[in-house]
Amino acid sequence: MVIKKHGDILSSEITDEHLFLNRRNFVRAAVLAGTTTATALLYRRFAIPAPVPAQVAANIEGVKSSTPDVAVPPPPADARTPYEKITNYNNYYEFTTDKEDVARLARNFTTRPWTVEVGGLVQKPKTFDIDDLIKLAPQEERVYRFRCVEGWSMIIPWVGFPLAKLLSAVEPLGGARYVAFESVVRPKEMPGQREGTLDFPYVEGLRLDEAMHPLTILATGIYGKVLLPQNGAPVRLVVPWKYGFKSAKAIVKITLTEREPPTTWNLATPSEYGFYSNVNPQVDHPRWSQATEQRIGEFGRRDTLMFNGYADEVAQLYAGMDLRRYF
């Protein structure tokens, strides 16, 4: 069964991945979807304009175009998605399942003080203050394709630095094979955590070689400005060749492990979301095709690219693997 949400969605073809959950979460999701719809109707009934105040983010000083020692592909030729779209169409279940309401609900989320605990199988475990973490490496711009598993995509000029810089600083031990990421738990500021659509904290993971890959970044900004809360401030993961849900927001903990760590969407619906989640137009989601995508701001659909267009850079990470089995 597919639950359809009655809110304003950009395209009728966009499926809401997150409203189809496992049996236990199903009821909670249905209740939540009903509440959201009721609120939307209320606004319409009384013609109250939805409060969407303009948000101003501070500029990040000294952003470089790229770190000299890291080889990255040139930015995609396609137009960058407008800032207004990137900051007002969000998936962030800690706040709400309504993509167009995350910005409003996340508005007062506090991002200072903030620490990121880095540990597990490392020589030098350390809890970083976010402002020290950001100083670990030059801030650089990375213009990446971003593909949500639901079928929409954007071109986003991130600001950030390679995750490898942080991992090298803590010195992974020989037995480390995976990296686990954990997002913040703060139900007082995150209404979605009080509703419990998913089990929080939101957790994600990468294989160590994926985490060390030069394309994998910790993002701290967009369009040269500090990340707004809705995009995962103060720091979030970006793995451009994987579906968007791998890119955990508001990270507080990074742990190197020997075994493959659990991941939120795999826990919720294992038949639909695997650990790898590489963008792959040939491997469909059980409920929809992944062959094409809706670029936000465009009409019609584009063909989805293997590894989201980053095959030259990352295909060798999966040499010899059956990508249908390891989806």
The closest residue (CB) to Mo ion is 148
Any idea how long the chain is?
327
User: Of 33, 116, 148, 154, which one interacts with Mo ion (CB under 5 A)?
Assistant: 148
Q: What is the chain's alpha carbon radius of gyration, rounded to the nearest angstrom?
A: 19
Strand order in the sheet with 203-207: 126-129, 115-120, 251-257, 178-183, 203-207
Task: Say whether residue 229 binds ligand MTE (CB under 6 A).
Answer: no
Which residues are registered as beta bridge partners of 119? 255
Least Å from the CB of residue 78 to ligand MTE: 16
Q: Are strands 217-222 and 225-226 parallel, antiparallel or unpaired?
A: antiparallel
Task: Say whether residue 245 binds ligand MTE (CB under 6 A).
Answer: yes
Q: Note whether 304 and 279 are within 8 A (CB).
A: yes
Task: Say whether residue 266 binds Mo ion (CB under 5 A).
Answer: no
Category of 196 on φ-ψ map: left (φ > 0), alpha (ψ -120 to 50) or beta: left
Q: Which does 327 bind (CB under 5 to 8 A by kind): ligand MTE, Mo ion, none?
A: none
Task: Say whether residue 92 binds ligand MTE (CB under 6 A).
Answer: yes
Task: Say whether residue 146 binds Mo ion (CB under 5 A).
Answer: no
Task: Say whether residue 183 binds ligand MTE (CB under 6 A).
Answer: yes
Give whichever of 121 and 218 is closer to ligand MTE, judged by the CB atom: 218
Measured CA to CA, the distance from residue 16 to residue 197 in angstroms comes to 14
Measured CA to CA, the distance from residue 205 to residue 315 in angstroms comes to 19
Give whichever of 176 and 219 is closer to ligand MTE, judged by the CB atom: 219
* Residues in 135-164 at the binding interface with ligand MTE, rule: CB under 6 A: 148
Task: Say whether residue 294 binds Mo ion (CB under 5 A).
Answer: no
Give whichever of 67 and 183 is closer to ligand MTE, judged by the CB atom: 183
Q: What share of the chain is helix, strand, coil (3-state, %, to 5)?
A: 25, 25, 50
Which residues are at the interface with ligand MTE (CB under 6 A)? Answer: 90-94, 148, 183, 202, 231-232, 244-245, 247-250
Which residues are at the interface with Mo ion (CB under 5 A)? Answer: 91, 148, 244-245
